[in-house]
Structure 1
Amino acid sequence: MNSKDGMRYMELVDVYEKLDSTTKRLEKTTILADFFRKIGGEDPELLPVVTLLSLGRVFPTWSEEELGIASKLLMNAMALVAGVRPEDVEDMMRDAGDIGTAAELLLGKKKQATFFTVPLTIQKVHSNLMKIADISGNRSQYKKMEILRELFSSASPEEAKYITRTVLEELRVGVGEGTIKDAIAEAFSVEKGVVERAHMLTNDLGLVSEVAKEEGVEGLKKLSLKPGKPVKPMLAQLSPGIRESVEEMGWALCETKYDGIRVQIHRSGDEVNIFTRRLENISNAVPEIIEYIEEALPHEDFIVEGEIIVTKDGKPISFQYILQRVRRKYEIEKMREQVPLKLYLFDVLYYHGPQIDTPFEDRRKILESMVDVMEDKLQLSNQVKATPEDIWRAEDLFTESLKGGHEGIMIKDPHAPYMPGIRGKKMLKRKAEPETLDLVVVGGTYGKGKRAHFIGSYLLAVQDENNELKTIAHAATGLDDQMLLELSEMVEPLITKKTGRRVEIVPSIILEIAYSEIVKSPEYESGYSLRFPVVKRVREDISIEDIDTVERVESMFKDVQTL
């Protein structure tokens, strides 16, 4: 049923509940496809909004807009409406294990009944959340809380659950981008491959659903890269060996693999912006890189890709120093002197039009034609051509790269297009260090004795095909007292449940984990476990969508079995 102001939010909540009630991806796809089709028929302007809300998002992943609401502010707003203390909300959250469920329970028994409320519409919820993102300056937290209080006052307990989860981008209904893409294809009778490509090029599922409904296949095929709007980077698989990889490709272009922050650099008109793998804009934190780009590249629209590293005495130093620069909001000029940056460019996605369908060999030539190298500031990645007959070229580059303090080499298929967000065999990495996994922390256990105030062991998870998290290991080694302290401080505000020494947390902290072996194990939800896991570092340069998958773990396990 719709109100005169649009579709009721409760209809979307019903969809969330249906999605949560099944673990089958095909059923989830059909539930969403039916709803998208309904929205497209009744209120097409709402379709891009609903598409993003189905993922628990208000903005596309490339957008710099954010709600900026911490769980504490959310709990304060909830306490006001429910007529309880913020501490009561926190206790309920710990008992329920989820702040959304806590909101549902508290508003279900709130002390002061609301005698008259206008039913919430999807548009009302969305517009209020958009208002929150626009608030800044004096008393901004108070203003945000007032908007939240208004929403909670009008919400049913079930609606409050999902408003809360949407604010924290933790929808918990087992729907990922893959399911949304399949649902768009099913709802509007377009090929999955066309939807997949449109999403690769725009990184905006709201736009893709809108165009699929209004213009169909032909409209989707017109969508393209746009400088200023970042896309997900192409990802590399692990190389089984230099010779084997080169022989499989026929011949390869091999490049030094740098240990820094991978960036996508966009020029649109007079504006240059630099985005991380998380699609976070870090332009203000790295002004010298902007200066190098202005000097070394054409003043025309482009998208290029590269790696920012920190050097000292001509050699790269720890990745953690780069994070210091990227996080920095103040005294940037001072940090610029203390932590000097260097940029290596290795690919071009857009120049005189999109280039992602251009073979890598030709993209490299285009990049070389664009760049005026600046010694010690901006260079092209060190590259050699290797064939099965002169495999020594790749092997020498590998040795030379390691001596230079870098991670290893990349082995790239010269005929390959650029595939945003796709991990495949067209781009491989060969490192001296054993392969690692990027895993998200979902829980932990406090230590004993002098470490009783630290979380000494972290429960880690991978994601499955539905973007649901599945546990795979506990990691307790690799952490000195300083790192334990820093991680414990990061974890504390994220705790949702405590049981004795064990805690559950909101998944957001990503750790790079080394290990000796992947083994099958019924102990963890993924069906696998890691032997001797060691924490290498915190990965602040990637988002939870970028963590490793059950599929990749299975592939790595099978690769070892066949050796």
Structure 2
Amino acid sequence: MLYRELVEVYQDLDSTTKRLEKTAILANFLGKVGEEDPELLSTVTLLSLGRVFPTWSEEELGIGAKLLMKAISMVVGVSAEDVENQMRETGDIGKATEKLYHKKSQITLFTQPLSIEKVYQNLVKMSKISGKRAQFKKIDYLMELLSASSPTEAKYLTRTVLEELRVGVGEGTIRDAISQAFSIAPEVTERAHMLTNDMGLVAEVALAKGEEGLRELTLKPGKPVKPMLAQLSPGIKQSIEEMGWAICETKYDGIRVQIHRHEGKIDVFTRRLENIAHALPEISDYIQKSFPDQDFIVEGEIIASRDGKPISFQYMLQRVRRKYDIEKMVSKIPLTLYLFDLLYYQKPVLDEPLKKRRKKLESLVKTDPGKLELSTQVIVTPEEIEKANDLFEVSIKGGHEGIMIKDPNAPYMPGIRGKKMLKLKAEPETLDLVVLGGTYGTGKRAHLIGSYLMAIQDENNQLKPLAYAATGLDDNTLQELSDMVEPLIISKMGREVKIEPSIILEIAFSEIVESPESETGYSLRFPVVKRIRNDRGLDEIDTLERVESIFRQSQKS
């Protein structure tokens, strides 16, 4: 199947903002692929999301904007500076590439049309290249594709390489399209995706085996799923009364992890589904010593501690990022793992109620104070609210964030945010936002970006500016953040820069206010940068729906 057929779908998707229309476009194309080239269905499904690999895969292309611009310049026959100038004008690598292709009529394109399979094969080959001269080899594979591309094909190919397809399609739209294309009940498709976190596999099974096949897909150790998410609690009393009774536990300020044991191996996955086991060898040791010799999946929080007290989250990030001298860091920044849930033990247990999963976890694990512990929790009825209040106070005094309030009868729902799991923090609520741009400072900070344009995602997964944040950064963090931003700058105009969306910041604020001038309809009062969130991915940033929810709640109080 030709790549231009997929590109035409991208164009159709880009031409509408209506989700139902996008779903119909994708459903028709997936159905066509299923009939004409079923072996390609998984690949097309992933490429429709702008991805080459499932979110949990450790494989990556390893190509940044600079390397991509170099490849474009070589194919088009212009300087890298010309490519950068065009990006500055358009603010988008895809549009810049398309314009350059149209301007350069001397480009000789191969007569053989580019196929979807060829595009995918070359991208996969790039991900497997490492070692000396790796960048040169990657450019060769990339140039082969770019040389065979039409201007429009090059536009979407370059976006795919950077995983920024920008056609307003997220996982929800793809799920609905698979259901529509292969006559599957939407809840069955959603469940299959929840348990596998692999949209390509879901499409493949939907075509080959229908609903029955999708119902057979299940959780497997070694393949992480998205974590169940918490909503903001309106208050301890109200939350517990609505649940009837609740499990309240300490909310730890660390990195949430999903730990898998399979075939004797321990994997430690972050919220972004990145495997960080290599950076935290003691966690694997704790797990091996504390659990039976069986396959399982448990969930918990890792915090950095000193003298039994939690220390700054930034120390935790130092451990996660470390690639060398890891043993030295083990003694320098000791870690404690707090476990709070069980998803799999010999078989999936996530459909069982939390109270049963927790009891099973307690029966399996051998705790080791200061190394591996179970989360501190209490059972609270509406008549015993003081127990929850006491836990909240003890947790805050212990240096933790607050408490979680969980429905004891709730199953584990991967990737779902709802009222079955609530959080209550001592500090005001925050938002995780992505950096879209920035402004250089003045005076002694003229070489640093001191103000950041932050964005949320809307219902079509499009990024929308919400606020500028310019306070809360000490000199060290400001320097670190500026160093992270520099390679991601797309364009500069005076002191203003546009940035490839990649860096996530946690932003605190005094309140959310309505703002007719803003694309979102809202803005933040007194936004402050709390920290860099290296543990969050672009698909985990907060949404317009959540901003609206916080705003509505604030109006009631």
Q: Does 1:518 align with 2:536?
A: no
Q: Distance in 2 between the 1:336 and 1:518 partners?
A: 41
Give the aligned residue type for 2:351.
D
Deviation at 1:281, TM superposition (A): 0.4
Q: How does 1:26-425 map to 2 (within 5 A)?
A: 26-110=20-104, 112-114=106-108, 116-425=110-419
Q: Secondary structure at the match of 1:391?
A: helix
* 3-state SS of paired residue (2:554): helix
TM-score for the superposition, normalised by structure 1: 0.97
User: What secondary structure sits across from 2:482 in the alignment?
Assistant: helix
1:365-423 deviation per Cα after TM superposition (whole angstroms, max 9, x unaligned): 01001100111110100111000111111111111111111111111000000000001
Across the aligned residues of Structure 1 and Structure 2, the Cα RMSD in angstroms comes to: 1.1
Picking from 447, 450, 454, the partner of 2:444 is: 450
By how many angstroms is 1:471 displaced? 1.3
Out of 18, 21, 24, which is 1:24 matched to?
18
- Partners of 2:112 and 2:501 in 1: CA distance: 34
Quick one: which amino acid aligns to residue 28 of structure 2? D
Aligned equivalents of 1:484, 1:405: Cα separation in 2 = 25
Moved more, 318-327 or 73-82: 73-82
Distance 2:334 2:356 in 1: 32
CA drift at 1:251: 0.4
Match of 2:552 in 1: 558
SS at match of 1:274: strand
What amino acid is aligned across from residue 268 of structure 1 in structure 2?
H
Q: CA deviation at 1:116?
A: 4.0
**Mapped partners of 2:66, 2:466: distance in 1:** 30
> Would the aligned equivalents of 1:178 and 1:466 in 2 still touch at CA under 8 Å?
no
Question: Is the 1:266–1:273 Cα contact (8 Å) retained in structure 2?
Answer: yes
CA displacement at 1:154 relative to structure 2: 0.7
Contact 2:76-2:107 within 8 A present in 1 as well: no
Query: How big is each residue's C-alpha offset from its partner over 1:408-450, in whole Å with a ceiling of 9 and x where there is no partner?
Result: 1111000000000001000011111111011111112222333
**Cα distance in 2 for residues equivalent to 1:549 and 1:16:** 23
> Cα offset for 1:485?
2.1
Does the C-alpha gap of structure 1 residues 116 and 443 become closer, same or farther in structure 2, counting only changes over 3 Å? closer
Per-residue deviation at 1:308?
Answer: 0.5
Q: CA deviation at 1:111?
A: 6.0
> Shift of the alpha carbon at 1:84?
1.4
Q: Which one-letter code corresponds to 2:7 in the other structure?
A: V
Gaps of 5+ in 2: none
Residues 258-294 of structure 1: per-residue CA shift (max 9 Å, x gap): 0000000001111110000000000100000000000
Aligned-pair CA distance for 1:137? 1.4
Task: Show CA shifts across 1:157-210 (max 9, x none).
Answer: 111111111110000111111111111111111111111111000000001111
Give the structure 1 partner of residue 532 of structure 2: 538
- 1:314 CA drift (Å): 0.8
User: 2:192 aligns to what SS in structure 1?
Assistant: helix
- Amino acid of the residue matched to residue 53 of structure 1? L
Within 2, Cα distance between the matches of 1:542 and 1:241?
26
Q: Deviations over 1:87-133 (max 9, x none)?
A: 22112111121111121122223364316431000000000001101
* TM-score for both structures, normalised by structure 2: 0.99
Aligned equivalents of 2:460, 2:181: Cα separation in 1: 19
Change (3 A) 1:443 1:116: closer
1:201 match: secondary structure: helix
> What aligned pairs does 1:495-506 form with structure 2 within 5 A after superposition?
495-506=489-500
Q: Which deviates further from its counterpart, 291-300 or 492-501?
A: 492-501
**What are the superposed Cα offsets for residues 20-74 of structure 1, whole Å, 9 maximum, x if unpaired?**
1111111111110110010011001111100000010000001111101111111
1:473 is matched with 467
**Does the aligned pair in 1 maintain the 2:109–2:148 contact within 8 Å?**
no
Superposition deviation, residue 452 in structure 1: 2.4
| 8 A Cα contact 2:466 2:524, kept in partner | yes
**Which AA in structure 1 matches 2:501?**
P
**Is the Cα–Cα contact under 8 Å of residues 109 and 149 in structure 2 kept in the other structure?**
no
Distance 1:120 1:66 in 2: 22
**Following superposition of structure 1 onto structure 2, how do residues 417-436 of structure 1 map, counting pairs within 5 Å?**
417-436=411-430
Count of aligned residue pairs for this structure pair: 557
Shifted more, 76-85 versus 37-46: the winner is: 76-85
Whole-Å separation in 2 of the counterparts to 1:103 and 1:116: 18
The separation in 1 between residues aligned to 2:260 and 2:480, in whole angstroms, is: 34
Contact 1:202 1:225 in 2 (8 A): yes
Quickly say closer, same or farther: Cα 1:111–1:433, change in 2 above 3 A: same
Secondary structure (helix, strand or coil) at the match of 2:341 reads strand
Once the two structures are superposed, residues 497-553 of structure 1 have per-residue CA deviations (whole angstroms, 9 ceiling, x without a partner) of: 323322221111111011011111022211110101110000000101111110011
- Secondary structure (helix, strand or coil) at the match of 2:517 reads coil
Q: Name the SS for the 2:501 alignment partner.
A: coil
| 2:42 alignment partner, SS class | helix
Contact kept in structure 1, 2:432 and 2:541, CA below 8 Å: yes
Matched position secondary structure for 2:524 = strand
1:227 positional shift: 0.3
**What is the CA distance between 1:147 and its match in structure 2?**
0.5
Alpha-carbon distance in 2 for matches of 1:414, 1:487: 41
Give, in whole Å, the separation in 2 of the partners of 1:145 and 1:326. 30
Gaps (5+ residues) in structure 1?
Answer: 1-6
**Aligned-residue identity in percent:** 69
Aligned partner letter, 1:437:
L
Deviates more, 1:91-100 or 1:274-283: 91-100
1:487 CA drift (Å)? 1.7
Preserved contact between residue 275 and residue 283 of structure 1 (Cα < 8 Å): yes
Distance 1:109 1:377 in 2: 62
Residues 414 and 63 of structure 1: CA distance in aligned 2, closer, same or farther (over 3 Å)? same
